[in-house]
Structure 1
């Protein structure tokens, strides 16, 4: 970011597999990544506080949580606590990029107990599942912030 309006330039390079957002102004923003939905609109899939004169460095992961809710939610709605039972699925090394799960309204989710799946209890807090702090990435981000500040 190079303006208080939140605009800036996109540059290639940097840490492979990572996204870096540099904020060069003295203003806080929410920054992150969006994914294209089936209607051609971009929806937030990860958003984080980006403080003034700082850098966010993060890596998208091939993991997702799935839920059926009893009321409608808009794409991009931040939910910190499970509203019903859900399933957390790791798509890393998934054949053809897919995993097989089933859902029964009375019985819940089924995934045959494979190591790539994890049931999420109703009312379980989701932050520890969805935001994974990589110590190496945290250290790298700290080094980048020092360089950015000088």
Structure 2
């Protein structure tokens, strides 16, 4: 089981301005999948930040289902992980009831997780992971939502790519967000040689990091779906 972390630092003026203006730190996580129609979910949010901040996570994963009457998720809508199961690459969550419950079995893949809907009911589904903030581990929270139709298998692979932003939109963990009001930074650990990376934030110039390929600047208002839902061969 691997682990990753991002150290975020800022100066005192930036910290004061962020807090006075009601900014919250938001974290999103990417996934590789062949299924379209997904919604990025806020993985973590806090206003309890300081001059030096550490976001971390491990590759431990849960699969979830959420019964629904529609697979269209609106901006700001909360998705609740109604049932969760510990799962890893090479395993399938077989959904066998209208409540979204089931069992985890082997699927023979080396990298992929399957969520197999053997019912005729419609669900939202996805993966949950545990983020640690300032070294303290939190709860497992959903990182995205995909439609899961009757008789369909969704194939997903966790991507060690995260998007971080300071934003004034009142979003909390589990809420869908397709765009943000502020610039964000996409950090792709598959392009990095380290598992801990350092970035800085300033109130007017926003995110800064070295020029390595693992960082992508994301403008305010940019669509998040193409950044966080990746093709399985990426």
> Do they fold alike, i.e. is TM over 0.5?
yes
Q: Distance in 2 between matches of 1:135 and 1:91?
A: 16
1:10 partnered with 2:76: no
- Greater percentage in strand: 2
Q: Distance in 1 between matches of 2:194 and 2:231?
A: 27
Q: Distance in 1 between matches of 2:215 and 2:138?
A: 29
- Where do residues 31-42 of structure 1 align in structure 2 (5 Å cutoff)? 31-38=125-132, 40-42=138-140
- Where do residues 1-150 of structure 1 align in structure 2 (5 Å cutoff)? 1-38=95-132, 40-92=138-190, 94-134=192-232
> TM-score, normalised on structure 1?
0.82
Q: Distance in 2 between matches of 1:37 and 1:96?
A: 18
- The number of equivalent residue pairs is 136
Please list the CA deviations of residues 88-128 of structure 1 after superposition, one character each: whole Å capped at 9, or x if unmatched.
Answer: 00112644511121100111000122211000000000111
- Greater percentage in helix: 1
Q: Distance in 1 between matches of 2:192 and 2:172?
A: 28
> TM-score, normalised on structure 2?
0.54
Give the gaps of 5 or more residues in structure 1. 137-150
Give the gaps of 5 or more residues in structure 2. 1-94
Q: Distance in 2 between matches of 1:42 and 1:121?
A: 29
Farther-moved stretch of structure 1 (18-27 vs 69-78): 69-78
Q: Distance in 1 between matches of 2:187 and 2:224?
A: 13
- Cα distance change of structure 1 residues 73 and 108 upon mapping to structure 2, 3 Å threshold: same
Q: Distance in 1 between matches of 2:233 and 2:159?
A: 15
Say if 1:82 and 1:120, in contact at 8 Å, map to a contact too.
no
- Cα distance change of structure 1 residues 135 and 106 upon mapping to structure 2, 3 Å threshold: closer
Please list the CA deviations of residues 23-74 of structure 1 after superposition, one character each: whole Å capped at 9, or x if unmatched.
Answer: 0000110111011244642211122100011100011111011000114321
Say if 1:34 and 1:42, in contact at 8 Å, map to a contact too.
yes
| Greater RCO (Cα-Cα under 8 Å, separation 6 or more) | 2
Report runs of 4+ in structure 1 exceeding 3 Å deviation: 37-40, 93-96
Say if 1:6 and 1:29, in contact at 8 Å, map to a contact too.
yes
